[in-house]
Amino acid sequence: MPESPPSPVAFVLKGYPRLSETFIAQEIAALEARGLDILIVSLRHPTDKKRHALHDQIRAPLLYLPEYLHQEPLRVLRGWWQARRLPGYRRALQLWWRDFKRDRSSNRIRRFGQAMVLAAELPERYRHLHAHFIHTPGSVARYTAQILQCPWTASAHARDIWITPDWEKREKLADCRWAVTCTAHNRTHLSALSNPERVTLVYHGLDFTRFPEPPTWRPRRDGRDAQDPVRLLSVGRAVEKKGYDILLQALARLPADLYWHFTHIGGGPLLENLKTQAAELRIADRITWLGSAAQDAVIEAYRTADIFALASRRDRDGDMDGLPNVLMEAQSQALPCVATTISAIPELILDGETGLLVPSEDTRGLTVALNHLIVDPALRSRLGMAAAIRVRQDFGMAGGIAELARRFGLAA
């Protein structure tokens, strides 16, 4: 007998499309290519002015929920009117009220309002909800699934894990059918809050069909030529956990007679603060701020740079990176990376073998590591090529997509 087709799935995302979340887009595109019927549900409208070419390959329809309830009051009222008649509404309301008593925030109210709208408007064939990020998308998926009395699952990543209180993660993990997370560091933490078999490690990995083979040759710059400085690069949002203020301090401590130029790609709320800091440190003339960029431009930047740097740290809210995709992307182009030992980064970068690692917040150590790579093109070449080999062997997306496809009921 022929196998029954997999159940259609509604992916609940915080925002779509987003330049910083290519890992989600590549997952959706790959699962679509395997035959999964996907509806993208977004809690927010896009804020990026650009989009990746990958987003144009995705055929999934889009449903945007009211970003703020007061902006679409009639839609929210219609959602409540229909949701209250559904069999799981009363239980969902009780669940939400228990959560609200522990988190008396407007955010909590907004998520239940969005869940009512989603329960009312979700096409009937989508009776499996999958939340990308366990915090706010997880809340909307959970409340909606309770109203509709259907299963929900989750992918947990980085910020969503570290800013969500343990009680909430524990209850969501007990309630969802299964969960995946993208680093061993995350899995250890989440498994301690639930049945360990409920949480599976699924690295995002890279879709190497979208990345060229690494350059076979790079200029042997060594920081002695003022007309041809060593090119340093970083890609990431200008937010506290990325540690760009620390990176600027480390750059400012490099010897005055060492010639380098730093390029940053990315937007973010702290960008103007960082530009001011660079001016105060008297290194502004050695820095180019490119802002957000599409992936083809980012890949070209990896290929023409000499060093990639990222000074990830835990911010004041407890948020921190998991395993930044930009590190994998840079390594795919044989670009040697300097990063920190925080979170899951050591799962990717082997210190002294495929890159250099320093403790988080260690400005002096970061300066020393950068100096080593700037003056030694042979070291850069050795680390970069070793990184390119390892990332292609161990961090391709095929294995992760195969595991997700199995969980969503797709044939091998």
Full domain range(s) for residue 76: 9-204+397-407
Residues 45 and 127 in one domain: yes
- CA distance linking residue 214 with residue 32, whole number of Å: 28
Q: Is residue 412 part of a domain?
A: no
Residues 137 and 274 in one domain: no
Q: Is residue 3 part of a domain?
A: no
- CA distance linking residue 44 with residue 39, whole number of Å: 15
Residues 177 and 312 in one domain: no
- The pTM for the full model equals 0.88
- CA distance linking residue 373 with residue 296, whole number of Å: 26
Q: Could you list the pLDDT tens digit for every one of the 412 residues in the chain?
A: 345 678 999 999 999 998 888 899 999 999 999 999 999 999 999 888 788 888 999 999 999 999 999 999 999 999 999 999 999 999 999 999 999 999 999 999 999 999 999 999 999 999 999 999 999 999 999 999 999 999 999 999 989 999 999 999 999 999 999 999 999 999 999 999 998 889 999 998 999 998 999 999 999 999 999 999 999 999 999 999 999 999 999 999 999 999 999 999 999 999 999 999 999 999 999 999 999 999 899 999 999 999 999 999 999 999 999 999 999 999 999 999 999 999 999 999 999 999 999 999 999 999 999 999 999 999 999 999 999 999 999 999 999 999 999 999 997 6
Q: Is residue 236 part of a domain?
A: yes
Residues 227 and 168 in one domain: no
> Residues with Cβ < 8 Å from 11, sequence gap 6 or more?
28, 38, 39, 40, 41, 60, 130, 132
Task: Provide the CATH number for the domain around residue 171.
Answer: 3.40.50.2000
Residues 273 and 306 in one domain: yes
Q: Is residue 382 part of a domain?
A: yes
Residues paired with residue 233 on neighbouring β-strands, in sequence order: 263, 308
The total number of structural domains that make up the chain = 2
